[in-house]
Amino acid sequence: MIHALILMCFCLLGVFGDKEEVKISVMEGHSVTLHTDVTHIQRDDEIEWRFNNIRIARIKRSVDINPSYDETDIFRDRLKMNNQTGDLNITDVSSQHSGLYHLNIFTGNKQKVKAFSLTAYAPLPTPVIASDVSHCSSLTCVLLCSVMNVRHVTLSWYNGSHTHSSISVSEQKSISLPLEVEHQDTNTYSCVVHNPIRNQTKHFCLADHCRPCSDVVNGCGTVEFVVLRLVVTAVIGVAAVAAVIVLSYDIRSRRDEEKRKSHTSPTTASSDE
C-alpha cells in the first residue's frame, strides 16, 4: 500500500511538474512578451497558452510547425506566438488583458505549468495642486493635491525625499489628498502619483499657493470677500450718481435766480425816478 502511494506521488509530479508564477506590469498601449524559457521546441512538444482558463494560443510540433490561435474579441489581431520558443507576445495591451495566463508545456507524459499574473496600468496624469480656501487662516493654509479618473495608484505628499502622507485606490476614481502647512514653512514639498512602473510628480512654490488670510477681507478669493467688494462698489456708484443729480439741480436753481433778478431790475429803477 505504501509503495503504491509513493508511486502515485511520483506519477503526479511527473505529469503536473512544478508550478511557477510570474508577476508582470505593463502600461496600456504597450506590448508585452510572456516567456516559456524554452530554447527550441522539440518534435513531440506541445505548448498551450490560456487566459482565465480559456485557450488563446497553441502549437503542436508533431502536427504543424506554426501556432494556431483561438482568439476572443479582446485578443483579436494582438497575439503572436514564436514558433521556435513558444513565447507569447501581446500588442496594444489594455486593461481587459489584465488577469492570469497559464502556460502548459507537454513533453511525452510530462507537463510543465507556469502562471503569469499580468496587470495593465493606464497612463498617469500630472497631479493638480490648489489651495483649499475654506480652511484658509492667518497662520496656516491647506493644499489639495488631486488626480482624476485613476486606478491602481498611490497619491503621496513628499517633504523633500520623505513621504508625508499617502492614499491608494484600486478601482477607478478621482482622489484628493490634503496637506496643512504654515505660511512661514520653508520645507520643500511635492505631490506624486505613482504605480509599480511609473510616476508623475508636481513640484510647487509654497508662496504661490499659500498666502495669509484675514477673517473677512482676504486674498484667498473667498465668496464673502467677492460679495463685499461688489456691495461697496455699488454703494459708491449710487453715491456718485446722487452727487451729480444734486449738483445739476443746484446749478439750474442758480441760473433761474439770476434770470429772475435780471428781469426785475429795470422796473425798480423807473419807480425811483
Question: Could you identify the residue written with the cell 500500500?
Answer: 1
Could you read off the pLDDT of 195-248 as tens digits, one per residue?
A: 999 999 998 877 666 766 544 334 334 444 444 454 455 556 666 666 667 666
* pLDDT tens-digit readout, 4-37: 443 344 344 444 444 568 999 999 999 999 999 9
Residues 253 and 241: their CA atoms lie apart, in Å, by 19
**77-82 CB contacts, 8 Å cutoff, 24+ apart:** 81/47, 81/49, 81/57
Q: Give per-residue pLDDT as tens, 171-204.
A: 888 999 999 888 888 888 899 999 999 999 998 8
pLDDT digits (tens, 9 = 90+) for 74-121: 999 999 999 999 999 999 999 999 999 999 999 888 899 999 999 999
Say if pTM beats, i.e. exceeds, 0.85: no
Kindly state whether residue 91 falls inside one of the protein's structural domains.
yes
The domain boundary, picked from 75, 103, 121, lies at 121
Mean pLDDT of 53-58: 94
Residue 82: inside a domain = yes
Same domain, 99 and 54: yes
Q: Is 160 left (phi over 0), alpha (psi -120 to 50) or beta?
A: left
Q: Within a 10 A sphere around the Cβ of 262, how many other Cβ atoms?
A: 9
86 exposure class (CB count in 10 Å sphere: 0-12, 13-18, 19+): buried
Of 64, 87, 121, the one marking the end of a domain is 121
Q: Residue 45 belongs to what domain range?
A: 12-121
- Asked whether residue 109 falls in the same domain as residue 147, the answer is no
Say what the pLDDT of residue 151 is: 87
On whether both 94 and 115 belong to a single domain, the answer is: yes
Assess if residue 220 is contained within a domain. no
Per the structure block, which three cell numbers stand in for 129? 495642486
**How far is it, in rounded angstroms, from Cα 61 to Cα 58?**
10
Whether residue 72 sits in one domain with residue 44: yes
> In terms of domains, do 79 and 175 share one?
no
Q: Which residue has the cell 514564436?
A: 82
Cell digits of residue 185 = 514653512
- Would 263 be classed as within a structural domain? no
Helix and strand numbers (H, E) in the chain are 3, 16
CATH number of domain containing 156:
2.60.40.10
Q: Is residue 98 part of a domain?
A: yes
Domains held by the chain: number: 2
Do 29 and 69 fall into the same domain?
Answer: yes
Q: 56-70 pLDDT, tens per residue? A: 999 998 888 889 998
